[in-house]
Amino acid sequence: MKKMLNPVHGVGNGPGVRNVERRINLFKEAGIQYSRTHDPVGGFGSGEFVNIHCIFKNFDADVNDPASYDFQMTDIYIKNIIDAGTKVIYRLGETIENGVVAHPELRKYCKVPADFQKWAEICEHIVMHYNEGWNNGFHYNIEYWEIWNEPDNIEMWDGTDEEFYEMYRITANHLKNRFPNIKIGGYGCSGLYAALNPDNNNEWFKALVPYFENFVKYITAPETKAPFDFFSWHCYTRYLEEFEHCMKFARSYLDSHGLSETESILTEWNVGGECIDGVWESSIFRKGPKAASFVAGVFSLMNQYDVDKSNYYDAEATRVSWCGLFDVYTGNPCKPYFVFKAYNELYNMENKFDFEIEDRGALYSIGAEKDGEKALMLSNYKGVNYRVNIPVEKIEGCKMAEIYAIDENHDLELTEKVILGKTGLEVSVNTNTVIYIKFR
């Protein structure tokens, strides 16, 4: 049997906590698989949800006393994710504190914990609350627990590399010993861009790959060994080729260092902004058809290069410049949302349908099949208009093709029905367009 598609149609954040009924339904319709709880709700956290300091407000308090914890707001946030039929990747840590580089006096939470063991025990009690019912909690069986986010980013960590490695070791071992069936990982790597270009002039980019390599060396050394069930990492770029290289590098590096069972999870990703009429634009661009074709291309690549799961950043509509899925004012779904919806149909089929495009250029494809029916998604990101031939032997037994489009004028709407003959199917895939074909 062929391999099924990977559950890569996950997002950052969930339906939120206000006016959520419609958003929950939209999550269900698109089959959103995983929600990662980083930068939750409002302007990067709003001080009430998920973050360690939001739940355990006084670090000097008794870690075993239920009264030391405030789960009220986070309970609502997590429940709405669960009600949407979405699984949780729970980020244990803090929301980014933008601006602390220029104003270090503003840093409050993204800093080295005073006591690593106590921090680990606080995390333990959060797991207990959501998985074991502790402190009027739940039995959600949340499987994925991510330690921190972007410690290689000065806005997220004010200590040394080694201090983070040590905190990860202590926390990961503590949680794994206490909850052997959950998956522990991290660390929300800021990016692997320099793996493609080691001579990149950006000094921060150049430092990110050695940070990852040293982290792997540390947690695999016998004296500092730690559980590493998944590696979480990020990628923001306008170039699908850069995504492709980073995916290949992440998987190959893990495999070559004895971590073939460690999942590669792209916990933050999106297309970079673009200059429109001389103005740098991201909030409108990320909601449009060109961004949708990019998203479809990333889905294709993630299945090709073994990205196990992913979280598009972001599904929180108030994060206007980053949320390409929903309009902040109307709540209506935008163009990339319909790519998620089409991909979910593919994901719910049993097997991959392999379709290679010769001289691919800017075209990306991904397909699936079940019970003799097939479906294929084609995307054209920044290319010329194409005519794609799907040979009859690839769709043998199918009698009809229904062609749907995601473009400037269509939101995954049926545009054409074709009775199939003996010559296969030829279809147009114009620039910045996604075509979704159902073969009946």
User: 131, exposed or middle or buried, with CB in 10 Å at 0-12, 13-18, 19+?
Assistant: buried
- In this predicted model, which residue has the larger pLDDT, 411 or 397? 411
Q: What is the pLDDT of residue 278?
A: 62
Q: What is the pLDDT of residues 278-320, one digit of tens each?
A: 656 678 889 999 999 999 999 999 999 999 999 999 998 888 7
pLDDT range class, residue 1, cuts 50, 70, 90: very low
Strand 425-429 vs strand 363-370: parallel, antiparallel, or unpaired?
Answer: unpaired
Q: What is the pLDDT of residue 51?
A: 95
Domain parsing of the chain, residue ranges: 10-350, 363-439
- Write down the CATH number for the domain with range 363-439: 2.60.40.1180
Report the first-to-last Cα separation within the chain, whole angstroms.
Answer: 21
pLDDT range class, residue 261, cuts 50, 70, 90: very high
What DSSP character marks residue 187?
E
pLDDT at position 164 over 90: yes
Q: What is the pLDDT of residue 3?
A: 81
**Residue 179 near residue 131, CB atoms below 8 Å:** yes
pLDDT range class, residue 43, cuts 50, 70, 90: low
Q: What is the pLDDT of residues 73-107, one digit of tens each?
A: 999 999 999 999 999 999 999 999 888 888 888 89
pTM, rounded to two decimals: 0.96
Q: What is the dihedral of CA 366, 85, 183, 304, to 10 degrees?
A: 0
Average pLDDT value over all residues in the chain? 93
Least confident of 136-140, 141-145, 381-385: 381-385
Q: What is the pLDDT of residue 64?
A: 98
Helix (H) or strand (E) holding 12: strand 10-12
- CATH fold of 10-350: TIM Barrel (3.20.20)
pLDDT range class, residue 276, cuts 50, 70, 90: low
Q: What is the pLDDT of residue 106?
A: 86
Q: What is the pLDDT of residue 73?
A: 94
3-state helix/strand/coil string of 366-428: EEEEECCEEEEEEEECCCCCEEEEECHHHHCCCCEEEEEEECCCCEEEEEEEEECCCCCEEEE
Average pLDDT over residues 410-429: 94
Average pLDDT over residues 205-209: 92
pLDDT range class, residue 277, cuts 50, 70, 90: low
